[in-house]
Amino acid sequence: MLDFLEGFALGLTGLVPFLHTNFLVQFAGSAELVFVSALASSHLVFEAFPTVLFALPSVGHNVAALPGHQLALQGRAFTALRAMLHSVFFGAAFAVAFLPLWLVAAPLALPLAQQFSGYALLVLLALFYLSESKPLTAMLVFLLSGALGFLVFSTPLLAEPLFPLLSGLFAVPALLYSMGSEWPALREGEAFELPLLLVFLGALLGSLSPFLPAVNPALLASVAFLFLESAPLSFLCLASALAASKNVFDLVSSQTLGVARSGAAAAIAAAPLKDPVVVAVASFASVCAALAVAFIVFKPLALAARRVPMRSFNAFFVVFLAIANFLLAGWAGVFVLAVAACVGVLPIALAVRRSNAVGCLIFPSLAHFFALDAVLLAWLY
Amino acid sequence: MSTASPSDLRLAALCAALALVGMALLAVFSRNAQPTPVDSVTLADEGRLVEFVGRLTRIQNSNGNYFLVVCGASCSRCVVFKSIAVEMNRSSLDLSLLEAGKSVSFEGVVREYQGSAEIVALNAGAIEVLGG
């Protein structure tokens, strides 16, 4: 019980941007299953706050930073947070419900998924660009962000390229472009209906995480974002359910399959006593406890953030991002942040969908699937 | 989506140019990165370009991807993905002929896979056979 409470309490640090779960599990000592599961799960819930209020991408809620912050700028921060918190609950609940079937069916489906995932991705991209009003301009943004993503993921520039890349592509342009604005009036009582089908789909996608090393959840969320950019609330629901489900499946698969697809899962993968049931129960209980706290504090936190004038607020976070990336990755991190910000401004200035910038995740994955990475690296080196 | 104004287009052109220059510089930085000789690799080395020297104790071909275990002061898992392996077989070293027991130098970037560190070859010149 004490392990659970300690893990849960440490998970509150999800409120602090860039305080990564991988860093926190170092305090696990003997990597107690309950402590790590509770920590990872409550951290995931509290990460939703900086994502929506400050447009800062986290590990769990990566691409969601953009639509989340867009909603906050429309005065819909409460709705965005409520949508994310509800979706995290149902995503985790669906994940726990899927578990028995997943343990049987997933290994059978794996070869098919590995064989065809690249082609499926290409078809989805083709459909997306057929629906784009300026396909050539949009593709330019996709290719530029793709080239940047390939560079930072394939070469020895950064140990953790995701933070500077996504912060630069999504957070910095969002913060800069909203700097002249004022906080809009808050829509407190906005009606909101949870799209359960999308939440279910998100939970299903999250269940693929342990099996597809080249197709990470950020990529799955990115593909969904291509089609759901115009419906930010729907995207947030799908992405949050995906993150919650991935968290459960990563932790459980570290106990059953020996597969560790996250820092938390890796921390308990080597534990001498394996217990997937304890891990699943601790994870779900921690999500529920964290949601109980989050539902109490989300309004006061959102209101507190609004007390700071938006200009100061945004300027502070642009500087904060630069410092955080410097601390995480040195000057290389700041440089990648700046280059990514230049690419991230393009879709706004060229009036195409910002989701085109997810090329940074999709292009490297396609290059790997179709064995283009060797050609590109041979040309580079 | 609305139409971009002339000032937006100028800003876009400037940002695209800066991004291209930035990416070119990043490419140069990564190209000039020198591998660090290491005795062992851990997750703390993730992202570093390293050179690991040791005896090849195991080599396995799985769908064209090669998985090697190289043991020096410690053992490390090294990976040559299919696309690089094809290029390697064509240009420098036929991996199908490489046998356990050889002394090799393996150069690559440290990546995390399933909670462990492994060295991933970046190019066709990643493996050098030092002797039998």
Cβ contact (<8 Å) for B115 and A265?
A: yes
Q: Which residues of chain A, if any, have pLDDT below 50?
A: 214
- Whether chain B has a CB inside 8 Å of the CB on A147: the answer is yes
* DSSP codes of every residue in B57-104: EEEEEETTEEEEEEESSSEEEEEE-HHHHHHHHHHT--GGG--TT-EE
With a CB-CB cutoff of 8 Å, which residues 4-63 of chain A face chain B?
A: none
- Whether chain B has a CB inside 8 Å of the CB on A212: the answer is no
**Do A51 and A65 form a contact (C-beta atoms < 8 A)?**
yes
The confidence score (pLDDT) of residue A277 equals: 86
Q: Output A257 or B72, whichever has higher pLDDT.
A: B72
**Could you read off the pLDDT of B7-36 as tens digits, one per residue?**
889 999 999 999 999 999 999 888 777 888
Q: Of A272, A278, A224, whose CA–CA distance to A248 is shortest? A: A278
A12 Cβ neighbours under 8 A, 6+ residues apart? A42, A46, A293
Residues of A in contact with B22 (CB under 8 A): 335, 338-339, 342
**Do B124 and B107 form a contact (C-beta atoms < 8 A)?**
no
pLDDT at residue B94 is higher than 80: yes
Minimum distance, in Å, between the CA of residue B56 and any CA atom of chain A: 23
For residues A304-329, one letter each, b for 16 or more C-beta atoms within 10 angstroms of the residue's C-beta and e for the rest, the string is ebbeeebeebbeebbebbbebbbebb
Cβ contact (<8 Å) for B8 and A349?
A: yes
Distances (CA, A) of A123 to A21, A141, A226, A372, B38: 35, 19, 13, 18, 43
Cβ contact (<8 Å) for B114 and A261?
A: yes
The confidence score (pLDDT) of residue B53 equals: 93
> What is d(CA A42, CA A19) in angstroms, rounded to the nearest whole number?
13
Kindly tell me the burial class for residue A8, based on how many C-beta atoms sit within 10 Å of its own C-beta (0-12, 13-18, 19 or more). Answer: buried
**Could you read off the pLDDT of A95-145 as tens digits, one per residue?**
999 888 887 877 777 677 767 778 888 888 888 888 778 889 999 999 999
Cβ contact (<8 Å) for A144 and B33?
A: no
Cβ contact (<8 Å) for A375 and B83?
A: yes
A146 Cβ neighbours under 8 A, 6+ residues apart? A359, A360, A362, A363, A364
> What is d(CA A1, CA B40) in angstroms, rounded to the nearest whole number?
38
Helix, strand, or coil here: B110?
Answer: strand
CATH number of B36-131: 2.40.50.140
What are the beta bridge partners of residue B53?
B105
The confidence score (pLDDT) of residue A217 equals: 62
Range of the domain at A177: 2-380
The confidence score (pLDDT) of residue A159 equals: 72
Helix, strand, or coil here: A229?
Answer: coil
Q: Of B29, B80, B125, B132, whose CA–CA distance to A330 is shortest? A: B29
Q: How many domains does chain A have?
A: 1
First to last CA, chain A: 53
Which residue in A has a C-alpha nearest to residue B112's C-alpha?
A261
Mutate to test the interface with B, among A211, A274, A336, A339 (most CBs of B within 10 A): A339
Residues of A in contact with B47 (CB under 8 A): 156-161
The confidence score (pLDDT) of residue A260 equals: 63
**Could you read off the pLDDT of B45-67 as tens digits, one per residue?**
777 789 999 999 999 998 888 99
Kindly tell me the burial class for residue A337, based on how many C-beta atoms sit within 10 Å of its own C-beta (0-12, 13-18, 19 or more). Answer: buried
**Do B49 and B36 form a contact (C-beta atoms < 8 A)?**
yes
Question: Where does the pLDDT of residue B77 fall: very low under 50, low under 70, confident under 90, or very high at 90 and above?
Answer: very high
A17 Cβ neighbours under 8 A, 6+ residues apart? A50, A54, A56, A58, A320, A324
**Share of residues in chain B with pLDDT > 90 (%):** 39
Rounded to the nearest integer, the mean pLDDT of chain B is 87
ipTM of predicted complex: 0.74
> Could you tell me the two tokens for B33?
């990165």
Question: Where does the pLDDT of residue B4 fall: very low under 50, low under 70, confident under 90, or very high at 90 and above?
Answer: confident
The confidence score (pLDDT) of residue A32 equals: 79
The confidence score (pLDDT) of residue A323 equals: 92
**Is the full-model pTM beyond 0.90?**
no
